[in-house]
């Protein structure tokens, strides 16, 4: 089991729930826009949020961002150790650095000194896009892992062990192999993700396979889905990965693919249900099925379900029909039973 690292009020590793992260894509110096995005990420279920700190003004902006954010804020630093030091002093709950590009050893030691003083962990890691050439003799996954381990050794030699490691490649198989290799070599918590995974469907598929494969093997303590666009999507996909693996509670919406027997618009009703669900943490399943021929049977394990009929639909709880509804009342009656279930009325 991995060791535990504390990031603000979130425990990472040691069998604690796998946390979901994202990263803002606003300018960090635009404090209102950054906080607005962090709020939306928090509402979507984000546990930890990372912000870029490319300059001193951003490191100063971190102060207000950290004090207003409801979730721990991680500072992403490259090259200049002073930005890491300033970010930690201004409230960052973790810093992500690359000791290799921070430069001389004393600069790393200065960063470590402040991180220790403030009880802030450091994430190090390797990305396929910025891999040090000195690891060129290894195959790519091993090179990624060894490059990260070299960074870990720099921190350890500075007396620091409050570390999280990430290995990311834009290749799913490289990400999986690299993390498997690292998992055998260290007990530091691992941050999983497939980097530059694209947008929409591509990112969802790559991230789900890469992160999911590792989590199924018991590897990984915190995850980030990388997706171009609104970062809230990263949280939605990340949480969906965790729910599908039984690693996170939440409402699971099941819907049939539909066929010629379908009597209702399954997709639009399933989307409606999804919008009711929001960030509810109740562990319940909701089935939306096109017809009663197979629908009730296939959805009988669901806590609540609806199946289409020629005149409307039937609502069922654990496979038992509780109401027959006309087409025009389909949504409102289903919502009624859904709310009843959430309030504990029929559980
Ligand atoms: S539940 Fe009915 S409509 Fe949906 S796929 Fe099965 S048979 Fe077709």
Domain locations in the chain as residue ranges: 5-244, 252-342
**CA-wise closest residue to 138 among 107, 198, 102, 181:** 181
Nearest to 165 by CA among 139, 142, 190, 182: 190
Atom number in ligand 1 closest to CA 263: 3
Task: Give distance in angstroms: CA of 260 to centre of ligand 1.
Answer: 8
Bridge-partner residues for 312, per DSSP?
Answer: 326
Q: Which residues does ligand 1 sit against, CB inside 6 Å?
A: 256-259, 261-262, 289-291, 293-295, 298
Query: For residue 35, what pLDDT band results from cuts at 50, 70 and 90?
Result: very high
pLDDT number for residue 71: 98
What φ, ψ does residue 307 adopt, rounded to 5°?
Answer: -135, 140
Domain 252-342 sits in CATH at 3.30.413.10
Residues 6+ apart with CB under 8 A from 21: 46, 47, 48, 49, 50, 74, 191, 222, 223, 224, 238
254 CA distance to ligand 1 middle (Å): 12
- Please tell me whether residue 67 adopts helix, strand or coil conformation: helix
Give the Cβ contact number of residue 336 at 10 Å: 14
pLDDT band with cut points at 50, 70 and 90 for residue 299: confident
**What's the pTM value of the predicted model, to 2 decimals?**
0.87
Nearest CA among 321, 322, 323, 326 for reference residue 311: 326
Q: 159 with 135: CB under 8 angstroms?
A: no
The pLDDT > 90 percentage for the chain reads 74
Flag whether pLDDT at 255 surpasses 90.
Answer: yes
Residue 257's contacts (CB-CB under 8 Å, 6 or more residues apart) are none
pLDDT at 347: 47
Give the separation between CA 239 and CA 233, rounded to whole angstroms.
10
Which pLDDT does position 278 carry in this prediction? 67
The residues, ordered by sequence, that sit 6+ positions from 146 with a Cβ below 8 Å of its Cβ are 135, 138
Q: How confident is the model at residue 310 (pLDDT cuts 50, 70, 90)?
A: very high
Q: Given this model, what pLDDT does residue 117 score? A: 96
CA distance 130 to 159: 26
Statement: residue 98 has pLDDT above 90: no
Q: To test ligand 1's pocket by mutation, which of 270, 294, 297, 309 has the most ligand atoms within 8 angstroms of CB? A: 294
Contact 128, 153 (CB under 8 A): no
**Any idea which of 25-29, 62-66, 135-139, 212-216 has the lowest mean pLDDT?**
135-139
Distance 259 CA to ligand 1 centre (A): 6
Distance from Cα 269 to the centre of ligand 1, integer Å = 14
175-216 pLDDT tens trace: 999 999 999 999 999 999 998 878 889 999 999 999 999 999
Quick one: CA torsion of 158, 13, 102, 83, rounded to 10 degrees?
-110
Structure tokens at 128: 């396929």
C-alpha–C-alpha distance, residues 181 and 176, integer Å: 9
**Is the per-residue pLDDT at 279 higher than 70?**
no
Write the pLDDT tens digit of every residue in 129-179: 767 777 877 888 999 999 999 989 989 998 999 999 999 889 999 999 999
* pLDDT value at 226 more than 80: yes
Close Cβ partners of 272 (under 8 Å, ≥ 6 residues apart): 331
How does pLDDT run across 317-341, given as a tens digit for each residue? 998 999 999 999 999 999 999 999 9
What's the pLDDT score for residue 121? 97
Task: Tell me the best of 266, 270, 289 to mutate to test the pocket of ligand 1, counting ligand atoms within 8 Å of each CB and taking the most.
Answer: 289
Confidence (pLDDT) at 293: 87
Strand ranges for 16-103 from DSSP E: 19-23, 48-52, 73-76, 94-96
H-helix segments, 167-308: 172-185, 200-216, 232-244, 266-277, 292-298
Q: What is the pLDDT of residue 345?
A: 57
**Domain 5-244, second-level architecture:** Alpha-Beta Barrel (3.20)
């Amino acid at each position: 089991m991995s060791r535990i690292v504390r990031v603000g009020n979130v425990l990472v590793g040691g069998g604690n729930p796998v946390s979901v992260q994202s990263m803002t894509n606003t300018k960090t110096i635009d404090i209102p826009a950054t906080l607005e995005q962090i709020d939306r990420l928090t509402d979507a279920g984000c546990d930890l949020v990372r912000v870029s700190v490319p300059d001193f003004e951003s490191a100063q902006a971190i102060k207000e961002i950290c004090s207003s954010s409801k979730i721990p804020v991680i500072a992403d630093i490259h090259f200049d150790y002073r930005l890491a030091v300033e970010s930690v002093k201004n409230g960052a709950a973790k810093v992500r650095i690359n000791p290799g590009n921070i430069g001389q050893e004393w600069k790393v030691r200065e960063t470590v000194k402040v991180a220790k003083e403030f009880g802030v962990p450091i994430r190090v890691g390797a990305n396929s896009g910025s891999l040090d050439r000195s690891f060129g003799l290894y195959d790519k996954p091993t090179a990624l892992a060894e490059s990260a381990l070299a960074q870990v050794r720099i921190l350890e030699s500075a007396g620091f062990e409050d570390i999280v490691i990430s290995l990311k490649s834009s290749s799913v198989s490289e990400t999986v192999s690299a993390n498997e290799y690292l998992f055998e070599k260290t007990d530091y918590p691992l941050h999983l993700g497939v980097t530059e995974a694209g947008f929409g469907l591509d990112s969802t598929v790559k991230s789900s396979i890469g992160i999911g494969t590792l989590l199924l093997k018991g590897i990984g303590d915190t995850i980030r889905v990388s997706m171009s666009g609104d970062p809230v999507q990263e949280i939605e996909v990340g949480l969906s990965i965790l729910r599908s693996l039984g690693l996170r509670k939440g409402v699971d919406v099941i819907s049939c693919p539909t066929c010629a027997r379908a009597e209702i618009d399954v997709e639009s009703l399933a989307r409606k249900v999804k919008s009711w669900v929001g960030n509810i943490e109740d562990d319940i399943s909701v089935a939306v099925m096109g017809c009663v021929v197979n629908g009730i049977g296939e959805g009988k394990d669901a806590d609540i379900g609806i199946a289409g009929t020629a005149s409307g639909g039937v609502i069922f709880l654990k496979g038992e029909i509780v109401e027959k509804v006309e087409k025009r009342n389909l949504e409102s009656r289903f919502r009624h039973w859904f709310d009843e279930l959430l309030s504990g009325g029929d559980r």
